[in-house]
Amino acid sequence: MLIQKIIQELQDIPEERLAEIYHLIHDFCLGLDKERLPIAANPLQTFPLAGMVLQYDDPFGSATAPEDGDVLRR
């Protein structure tokens, strides 16, 4: 069986390198999980702000008084 061959190969890997193999397998499995996730029929359900334009007009507004700007010029 293939799983037994994989286990045999793993037994020959030095202990200090096993973490790398674990992360490889773990990341691979996460990728498989993502492939299994259903795709939303309406992308706006998943990403409600998709396609919206964001713009900041005077983001600080009246938070600073015009005379406060003089402090920055000194």
Helix ranges, the chain (H): 2-11, 18-36, 43-46, 69-73
* pLDDT > 90 in the chain, percent: 22
Q: Residue 14: phi, psi to the nearest 5?
A: -60, 145
pTM of whole model > 0.85?
A: no
User: In this predicted model, which residue has the larger pLDDT, 68 or 57?
Assistant: 57
Q: Is 37 helix (H, G, I), strand (E, B) or coil?
A: coil
Please give the single-letter amino acid code of residue 3: I
Q: What is the C-alpha separation between 7 and 15, in angstroms, rounded?
A: 14
How far the first Cα of the chain sits from its last, in Å, is 79
- Section 29-53 average pLDDT: 69
